[in-house]
Amino acid sequence: MLGEHSSHRECAVDVRDLRAGYHGRPALEDVTFTIETGCLAGLVGPNGSGKSTLLKVMLGLHKPWSGEVLIFGHTERPGHGDVGYTPQSELVDWTFPVSVYDVVLMGRYGKLGLVRRPGKRDREVAMAALERVRLIDRAERQIGELSGGEQRRALIARALAQEADLLLLDEPLAGLDATAQHDLLRLLEELRTEGKTLFVATHDLSCVAADFDHAVLLNNRVIAFGRPADVFTEDKLSEAFQRHLFVLPQGTTIIGP
């Protein structure tokens, strides 16, 4: 089944018995799950469930207390672009005077070292990434002039400019209207078709249920992972969200305050 090792598909993400936290307080406890290559996977859980901590550990930005994370079979992060990352929108300074093209070109910096300037190929890769997310006509615009959906696509283009095989996206759908959300989901599905693996932290259970291959339901530990239909049961959602979750008689799930 999805979420387990397969004889014909490589494992892109393999998290084993992961424990992590801050100042002696645990944020993740015995977290274990796998994601196959070429999958669109959702990371779902309430606020404070450890989603951002998990992404930081996967990126090598936060050292776990125990356990390990293997990305394409390796624990080290050699910096060759195997993992791309897009942060939450509210963590980005959209007023910074930089063009959309310059933001995307930043995705190449990890390959340049401390002294080398971007070359012809770096510029070509950045422009190809902009074209891939349908922002080529916005390349010279200031990043803050874009709509919310366009800004998310620009961040994805920056990750694509890294030539990453695994993309970690932190709340890319938050705050988007229905049209922008549809456009972004279509882009994610296209990238999956091209062989990218995408791991998306989101509060939107309906999108994960409708469009994603995998789901990881997290509340400091993994409540369930696998196909969304198997993960998003009333019992498992109630266990994860506790009093923040309400399930109506028709089966509609609502996340409360």
Q: How does pLDDT run along the chain (257 residues), one tens digit per residue?
A: 344 434 446 899 999 999 999 999 999 999 999 999 999 999 999 989 999 999 999 998 899 999 999 999 887 665 445 788 988 877 788 888 899 999 999 888 776 665 578 889 999 999 999 998 999 999 999 999 999 889 989 998 998 998 889 999 999 988 888 888 898 899 999 999 999 999 999 988 999 999 999 999 999 999 999 999 999 998 999 999 876 555 544 444 545 54
CB-based contact 157:130 (threshold 8 Å): yes
5-24 burial code (b ≥16 CB/10 A, e <16): eeeeeebbbbbeebbbbeee
Query: Hey, what are 242's tokens?
Result: 């506790």
Return the pLDDT at 257.
44
Rounded to whole angstroms, how far apart are CA atoms 201 and 12? 16
**Prediction pTM value:** 0.85
In 122-218, where do the E strands start and end?
Answer: 166-170, 197-201, 214-218
Distance CA 128, CA 101 (A): 11
pLDDT at 135: 93
Cβ atoms of residues 40 and 188 within 8 Å: yes
